[in-house]
């Protein structure tokens, strides 16, 4: 196990959370994931629509998503890239998808999606505080009709916010951010 998480204050969890690409094989227990989802739903949410749904994926659905993605990669980049992708996706221990309610009201749609993104970050931080890393992906496969169907949805029935891989990190990448003064616009 890595020496992780490094500390337990909220500042440490926010600062040290990283998108994790490489996981140890063991899948984190379901109760830890449920605990993180319980925290995720405390995200701010205008009109309290609670537009989020967390789809917990079992082995069969994961296999089908990995196969679908492999086929997309084969079409775009050929057999070698497809085989590498298949191997990589087969090694990811934990999978969930976050979807957002769809509405005809454009303002509510935007607010609901924003609330789901807040929930996604809550999820990432809650998991990180338990020693679990996550990767948020919006890759091409998540935008296919077949992906929605594998979640038991009609295409377009809900907005796919992201596919989230999770597990215990095998390594933690370095990250950089701009200087604070470069992201502030101070006005009189």
Residue that the structure tokens 């490094």 belong to: 6
Binding-site string for ligand FMN from residue 140 to residue 169, where x marks contact by CB under 6 A and - marks none: ----------------------x-------
When asked if residue 137 is in the footprint of ligand FMN (CB under 6 A), the reply is: yes
Q: Binding residue for ligand FMN (CB under 6 A) from 9, 87, 138, 171?
A: 138
Cβ count near 102 (within 10 Å): 13
Q: Which of 41, 57, 58 is nearest to 49 (CA)?
A: 41
Q: How far is the CB of 155 from ligand FMN (least distance, A)?
A: 19
Q: Binding residue for ligand FMN (CB under 6 A) from 16, 18, 35, 88?
A: 18
Q: Binding residue for ligand FMN (CB under 6 A) from 12, 16, 19, 146?
A: 19
Q: How far is the CB of 117 from ligand FMN (least distance, A)?
A: 7
Stretch that binds ligand FMN, among 3-11, 43-51, 94-102, 130-138 (CB under 6 A): 130-138
**Which residues of this protein are in contact with ligand FMN, per CB under 6 A?**
18-19, 136-139, 162, 175
């Amino acid at each position: 196990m890595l020496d992780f998480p490094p500390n337990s204050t909220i500042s440490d969890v926010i600062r040290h959370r990283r998108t994790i690409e490489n996981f140890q094989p063991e899948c984190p227990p379901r109760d830890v994931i449920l605990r993180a989802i319980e925290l995720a739903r405390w995200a701010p949410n205008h009109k309290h629509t609670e537009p989020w749904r967390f789809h917990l994926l079992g082995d069969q659905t994961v296999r089908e998503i990995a196969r679908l993605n492999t086929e997309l990669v084969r079409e775009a980049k050929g057999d070698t890239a497809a085989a590498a992708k298949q191997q990589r996706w087969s090694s990811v221990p934990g999978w969930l998808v976050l979807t957002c309610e769809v509405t005809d009201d454009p303002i509510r749609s935007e607010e609901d999606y924003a609330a789901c993104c807040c929930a996604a970050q809550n999820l990432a931080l809650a998991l990180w505080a338990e020693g679990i890393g996550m990767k948020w992906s919006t890759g091409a496969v998540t935008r296919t009709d077949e992906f929605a169907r594998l979640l038991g949805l009609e295409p377009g029935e809900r907005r796919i916010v992201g596919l989230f891989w999770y597990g215990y990190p095998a390594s933690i990448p370095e990250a950089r951010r701009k200087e604070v003064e470069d992201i502030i616009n101070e006005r009189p």
